[in-house]
């Protein structure tokens, strides 16, 4: 679990990284605020604009220190999400940032292990793979079967592919925190 100070620092680092890339401020100081943010950890950065998704990219697995993942994924979510055009300077003040810090993946044998609202999903079969963060099912008011179905779609698979024994299903949890109109940090 991250402290409030660590979460605030990571959110500020993500925002300043995007601002710097837009030419709106100096390059952020990336001196880690604690040893915990130096630990290798997967992370996603999500951008919302007026309550709608505006970009979301991340590392599922722990490939580098958390703070470096946040820097890289903030830039990727703002400028490299293929579903959206690159963020413009005019949009910068209207976006809200959300960070999801990932737990390690756990392969499951039964979908009964999936807890909606607690677990995110990775669906994998052959070269096809898709991921949905834990908060997606809650935000969409999905039950477990619907969550499994939409994760299959995200992987480019038929909606019932989760029933196929050749499909690998992984669960993970995420510590999710964001800046939004409620204040500097909302959990």
pLDDT of res. 183: 47
Domains and CATH numbers, the chain: 4-102 (3.30.700.20), 106-172 (3.30.1490.150)
pLDDT of res. 48: 95
Q: How far is CA 65 from CA 4, 21, 31, in A?
A: 18, 21, 12
pLDDT of res. 100: 94
- Sequential pLDDT tens for the chain (187 residues): 899 999 999 999 999 999 999 999 888 887 899 999 999 999 999 999 998 999 999 998 889 999 999 999 999 999 999 999 999 999 999 999 999 999 999 999 999 999 999 999 999 999 999 999 999 999 999 999 999 999 999 999 999 999 999 999 999 999 999 985 554 555 5
Say what the pTM is.
Answer: 0.85
- CA–CA separation, 126 vs 54, rounded Å? 29
- CA–CA separation, 105 vs 122, rounded Å? 8
pLDDT of res. 185: 56
**Residue 37 dihedral angles phi and psi, to the nearest 5°:** -75, -5
pLDDT of res. 31: 86
């Amino acid at each position: 679990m991250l402290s409030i100070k660590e979460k605030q620092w990571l959110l500020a680092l993500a925002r300043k990284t995007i601002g710097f890339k837009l030419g709106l401020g100096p390059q952020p100081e990336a001196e880690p605020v604690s040893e915990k943010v130096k630990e290798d950890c997967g992370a996603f950065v999500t951008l919302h604009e007026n309550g709608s998704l505006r970009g979301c990219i991340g590392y599922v697995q722990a490939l580098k220190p958390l703070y470096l993942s946040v820097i890289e994924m903030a830039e990727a979510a703002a400028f490299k999400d293929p579903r959206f055009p690159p963020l413009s300077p005019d949009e910068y003040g209207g976006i809200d940032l959300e960070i999801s810090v990932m737990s390690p993946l756990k392969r499951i044998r039964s979908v009964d292990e999936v807890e909606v609202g607690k677990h995110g999903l990775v669906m994998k079969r052959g070269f096809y793979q898709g991921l949905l963060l834990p908060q997606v099912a809650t935000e969409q008011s999905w039950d477990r079967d619907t969550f499994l179905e939409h994760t299959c779609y995200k992987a480019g698979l038929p909606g019932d592919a989760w029933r196929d024994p050749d499909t690998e299903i992984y669960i993970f949890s995420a510590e999710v925190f964001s800046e939004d109109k409620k204040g500097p940090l909302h959990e």
